[in-house]
Structure 1
């Protein structure tokens, strides 16, 4: 009897690729008959993907059952005139012929059992239909955000509501995924702006057509959101399988040259004394905002490790880079005055830093992968979202779960990161840092409890996410063609 094989198609974004690969590892670990082929769509901007995949191929203990195929990039002239709001989805869709060709070159020793596509690669479901196999989705955000997508589409399609009216509104929504009313200002711009909301609506319609959705979250942190979806109509089975994290690096580190220096500095700091500031792969601020952060850190008196990145040029979507000279953007004399208590760096080895016992708090953009890492290591968060669904995550962490304090929850650069929001002041930042570093706060206590729950969910046989992975495999095998 031929062995079942799943084809994974992650989005061409490093964070999505990493969590998809970690999910694949978990699945083949649980079922020794299952094999997985991961099709790599190369990002246009993130060059480290090639090194990451090469490292995985060499180091993974399941190399005989997890195979990686690098897809060539389509001709760039095919993408030259695509509107920016549609560029990402069109870029993914342009790979359909390449995906189809790769699938036809698979080994004949296994039977194609289904596609597992990223939340941003749903157009690949067409190929699964063509091949007569089911499609599943790997959703890299949280259950509440998945519920929000279904909720907004219902408002739009069934109640004829124009969700773009929420853009800039002061209203509140009775969103069933949360106990508290959801402020419209916490809604991601990508789901309510006129130029992007039709794309999101189409994505949600496709989500409803899948056989099941794996979500990188766990029951214990989102029990209310999961329960609310259980009452909703026309929603596929939901499998909370997180936290799925890459805790070992596996070649993903962009640079190891400065990591030893950073970790050595942390080794010299007292336990839980350092506040860590890091805003993700696309997180950066203009010079005026950087000056406010610096003054707040200095006035707070707390030890700090600050990952400070140089913004991308205006009008581009390239990622931030490291400064060649930090003094050009920081207040005069700041580095000298804080030399005993602080360290400013460029790129940060985030997992290694969060795991270090000297870290006492995390000023974060609230990206979901970073949030799960912080929860895993029991580090409380000060919420300062920057883009995408991060302000929604921030609301959930601060108001729903009590795992974070607020710095500025409605700070949002918009879909294309081109809009500079109003400056977050020294007072706002300092207040957030002081609250974050309070040693006996409720936030710190709740985070410690949730950290323990996250580890039990995923690493113990019988844990909720371990069981959910088993349920997913059972569902896949039950739907074999």
Structure 2
């Protein structure tokens, strides 16, 4: 059998690579004619990434998915600069080209290069797919609504000559085709509100239009209006194939060889059903000492049981290094907080998020609203209180609260990234959000989340919307594979 070989190129945010590897598993598991080579571009600031990708590779139990680590590309640009990612991808192009050429040379009669599947932020690599004479597809790790926002903003900028960055100082609302509700300009991602970054960001939307198709990590039943709107925005074929989640048991080895999640799960076993609020803010989520103290005060005053994943920010403001666990969290927590809440809550560092969300003791999730975490909360039927930090998370929060009615708001326009910040959120606001989340037992929002959970699971079953969409994608890949 001749395998159709797909080259996957993720961008090295952990939320991006995990869902892309899961996508590769989905494809090869569905059709024995497909195989995948994942090209790993290592970012220079993530010291833990080698071990992380090694564990990912170890989780793949098929010879039809291979990982190739590319040479680490150094760039002179500041990591926090608007041009860093663009320069990094451009600098990696020769390494990608060499790896694909070696793949083609070694393929023999058993494999044939069928196409590139690129992260949306790797859209300039479409040029390489064209050089090799194969089609390119984009794997979009955010929502269909956010894809619609990108395409619409790019049209406004390039066809109607609108200066998108001017929305930064606007208090108005915008009408986006991918939403049924008007979107406040303050919810727009900071990357499009900064003139240094908006043009290169929207260039990705322009390039995506050139591909054979866009694979979106969502499902029709979650975003029916957004998915339907994409054709009118000039998108190529769109394949909603989600929710694509990594649901394998997460473990993290400690120095003594034990697994970091064991004590967490033991603590949860002792808590009543649906009684614990879980606070977790993703692989890059962290807060300064002043905000941590407000959060602690809110949790203590709310009286609810809590499990709090508290991470230490990078040492220098403006860097995007991955946060680490505190050696001693008492250095940032209010004096006596751990003693006073010992019977009520638990402060942890890294968290095995999916295992925690699946536990019956969890009754609510305070989340940064990253798209992977959003899909996980829906999968497990877990109500969310929104506390976005960066990227498109403010947009996701608005979608969850206003457009879909699946979440409650702590704050939707909070920001903590290197482009802009929203200051410190007070304990009163946080406490109110936690109370609303946890004390709405049996409410309409919880009912809607449970319904969305059922739909997410049906979408992946044989005959479900995402199952059928994946079949159409595979058919397109095989039909467009070069003959020689």
Give, in whole Å, the separation in 2 of the partners of 1:81 and 1:179: 39
Give, in whole Å, the separation in 1 of the partners of 2:78 and 2:70: 22
- 1:104 corresponds in structure 2 to 101
2:60 is aligned with 1:60? yes
Aligned-residue offset at 1:231: 2.6
Contact 1:14 1:46 in 2 (8 A): no
Q: Deviations over 1:433-481 (max 9, x none)?
A: 11111211222111111111111112x1111111111111111112111
Contact 1:272 1:360 in 2 (8 A): yes
- 1:120 corresponds in structure 2 to 121
- 1:159 corresponds in structure 2 to 160
Contact 2:214 2:236 in 1 (8 A): yes
- 1:447 corresponds in structure 2 to 449
CA RMSD after TM alignment: 1.7
Q: Tell me, what secondary structure is at the counterpart of 1:439?
A: coil
Aligned-residue offset at 1:34: 0.9
Contact 2:219 2:459 in 1 (8 A): yes
Aligned-residue offset at 1:168: 3.0
Give, in whole Å, the separation in 1 of the partners of 2:223 and 2:363: 24
Q: Deviations over 1:260-279 (max 9, x none)?
A: 11110000000110000011
- 1:12 corresponds in structure 2 to 12
- 2:280 corresponds in structure 1 to 278
In the TM superposition, 1:351-370 aligns within 5 A as 351-370=354-373
Aligned-residue offset at 1:80: 5.1
Give, in whole Å, the separation in 2 of the partners of 1:61 and 1:413: 38
Change (3 A) 1:254 1:187: farther
Give, in whole Å, the separation in 1 of the partners of 2:410 and 2:203: 34
Q: Tell me, what secondary structure is at the counterpart of 1:258?
A: coil
2:74 is aligned with 1:70? no
2:343 is aligned with 1:346? no
Bigger shift: 282-291 or 182-191? 282-291
Bigger shift: 361-370 or 107-116? 107-116
Change (3 A) 1:412 1:473: same
- 2:433 corresponds in structure 1 to 432
Contact 1:93 1:121 in 2 (8 A): no
Aligned-residue offset at 1:146: 0.3
Bigger shift: 94-103 or 308-317? 308-317
Give, in whole Å, the separation in 1 of the partners of 2:188 and 2:68: 36
- 2:265 corresponds in structure 1 to 263
- 1:402 corresponds in structure 2 to 405
Contact 1:59 1:250 in 2 (8 A): no
Q: Tell me, what secondary structure is at the counterpart of 1:55?
A: helix
- 1:90 corresponds in structure 2 to 87
Q: Tell me, what secondary structure is at the counterpart of 1:468?
A: helix
Q: Tell me, what secondary structure is at the counterpart of 1:29?
A: helix
Contact 2:150 2:205 in 1 (8 A): yes
Contact 1:19 1:244 in 2 (8 A): yes
Q: Tell me, what secondary structure is at the counterpart of 1:450?
A: helix
Q: Deviations over 1:340-361 (max 9, x none)?
A: 0100111111111111110000
Aligned-residue offset at 1:319: 2.0
Q: How many pairs are equivalent?
A: 473
Structure 1 unpaired stretches of 5+: none
In the TM superposition, 1:135-146 aligns within 5 A as 135-146=136-147
Q: Tell me, what secondary structure is at the counterpart of 2:38?
A: strand
Aligned-residue offset at 1:257: 3.8
Bigger shift: 396-405 or 327-336? 327-336
Contact 2:250 2:355 in 1 (8 A): no
Contact 1:52 1:250 in 2 (8 A): no
Bigger shift: 359-368 or 430-439? 430-439
In the TM superposition, 1:194-343 aligns within 5 A as 194-232=195-233, 234-249=234-249, 253=252, 257-312=259-314, 313-343=316-346
2:458 is aligned with 1:456? yes
Aligned-residue offset at 1:250: 6.9
Aligned-residue offset at 1:42: 1.2
Give, in whole Å, the separation in 1 of the partners of 2:143 and 2:378: 13
- 1:50 corresponds in structure 2 to 50
Aligned-residue offset at 1:249: 4.5
Aligned-residue offset at 1:73: 1.1
Give, in whole Å, the separation in 1 of the partners of 2:284 and 2:78: 24
Structure 1 length-normalised TM = 0.95
Aligned-residue offset at 1:317: 2.3
Q: Deviations over 1:100-150 (max 9, x none)?
A: 111122222211110001011111111111111111000001100000001
Bigger shift: 100-109 or 177-186? 100-109
Aligned-residue offset at 1:288: 1.4
Aligned-residue offset at 1:59: 4.1
Give, in whole Å, the separation in 2 of the partners of 1:167 and 1:215: 28
Q: Deviations over 1:196-248 (max 9, x none)?
A: 0111121111011111000011101000101111333x321110011101110
- 1:134 corresponds in structure 2 to 135
- 1:467 corresponds in structure 2 to 468
Give, in whole Å, the separation in 1 of the partners of 2:364 and 2:397: 15
Contact 1:457 1:463 in 2 (8 A): yes
Contact 1:137 1:214 in 2 (8 A): yes
Structure 2 unpaired stretches of 5+: none
Aligned-residue offset at 1:61: 2.7
Q: Tell me, what secondary structure is at the counterpart of 1:6?
A: strand
Q: Tell me, what secondary structure is at the counterpart of 2:39?
A: strand
Q: Tell me, what secondary structure is at the counterpart of 1:84?
A: coil
Give, in whole Å, the separation in 2 of the partners of 1:16 and 1:370: 12
Contact 2:253 2:260 in 1 (8 A): no
Q: Tell me, what secondary structure is at the counterpart of 2:158?
A: helix
Q: Deviations over 1:294-341 (max 9, x none)?
A: 111111110000011112222422222211221121111111111101
